[in-house]
Amino acid sequence: MILSDNEIRILLRAGELGIEPLDEEIIRENGLDLRLGSSYCIMKDTDKILDPRNPGDPNDYYDCREANEIIIPPRTHVLLHTLEYIRLPSYIAGLVNLRSTWARTGIYVPATVVDAGFEGELTIEVIGSQFPVKLYQGERFLHLVLVKMGIPASPYSGTYKGQRGVRLPKFFVRPG
């Protein structure tokens, strides 16, 4: 079952669902419009092989920066993050879509699922259009559809729990 705006407000008031910072404008009829944060990582054009068992230096593959404006170059993959830090209960999962206005520019976001029980800012991959597209921090960019599960999931305890800013693939995170 997809949650309506009224159900989302009830969960927020009850403290079951968390969104920081919360702006009433992001609550939509059937989900949340999440805004862009300021960190981004452009995936570099390189012939260097990324081996997940021995990934080496992430700077060989990503150019990461902070800015209030981000230009998505043509046909380039970029990691962005949401301004909002979300906290989902164990019985709510999320489906991430690009807002249709942005999809009409030709940029693309691959299918992304937010696990039930997840908390953190979302890191999202964006693939560039045929022409450069400028994005601004704080712009409503993604639509998060919240789906109620029949039976609550096991507690989420993945590598990305509590993430802030852009989080690179987990094999770049060294234990200890």
- Give the model confidence (pLDDT) of 15-59 as tens digits: 999 999 999 999 999 999 999 999 999 999 999 999 999 999 999
- Phi-psi category of residue 90: left, alpha or beta, with phi > 0 → left and psi -120 to 50 → alpha: alpha
- Asked if residue 78 lies in contact with residue 43, where contact means CB atoms within 8 angstroms, the answer is yes
- Asked if residue 148 lies in contact with residue 91, where contact means CB atoms within 8 angstroms, the answer is yes
Domain residue spans of the chain: 5-46+56-151
pLDDT tens-digit map of 92-149: 999 999 999 999 999 999 999 999 999 999 999 999 999 999 999 999 999 999 999 9
Predicted pLDDT at 11: 97
Predicted pLDDT at 176: 41
Question: Token match 């709510």: residue?
Answer: 92
Q: What is residue 31's DSSP assignment?
A: E
Within 10 Å of residue 104's Cβ, how many Cβ atoms?
Answer: 10
CA distance 133 to 112: 21
Predicted pLDDT at 155: 81
Residue 119 catalytic?
Answer: no
Which tokens go with 154? 């096991």
Predicted pLDDT at 167: 93
- Asked if residue 169 lies in contact with residue 160, where contact means CB atoms within 8 angstroms, the answer is no
- Asked if residue 99 lies in contact with residue 33, where contact means CB atoms within 8 angstroms, the answer is yes
Of 7, 119, 125, 139, catalytic: 125
Residue 64, classed as helix, strand or coil, is strand
Predicted pLDDT at 156: 86
pLDDT tens-digit map of 49-91: 999 999 999 999 999 999 999 999 999 999 999 999 999 999 9
Which tokens go with 135? 């994005």
Which tokens go with 74? 């043509």
CATH architecture of 5-46+56-151: Distorted Sandwich (2.70)
- Asked if residue 35 lies in contact with residue 26, where contact means CB atoms within 8 angstroms, the answer is yes
- Asked if residue 43 lies in contact with residue 128, where contact means CB atoms within 8 angstroms, the answer is no
Assign 174 a pLDDT band (cuts: 50, 70, 90). Answer: low
Predicted pLDDT at 126: 97
Alpha helices for 2-99 (secondary structure H)? 5-14
For the whole prediction, is pTM greater than 0.75? yes
Rounded percentage of the chain residues whose pLDDT exceeds 90: 91
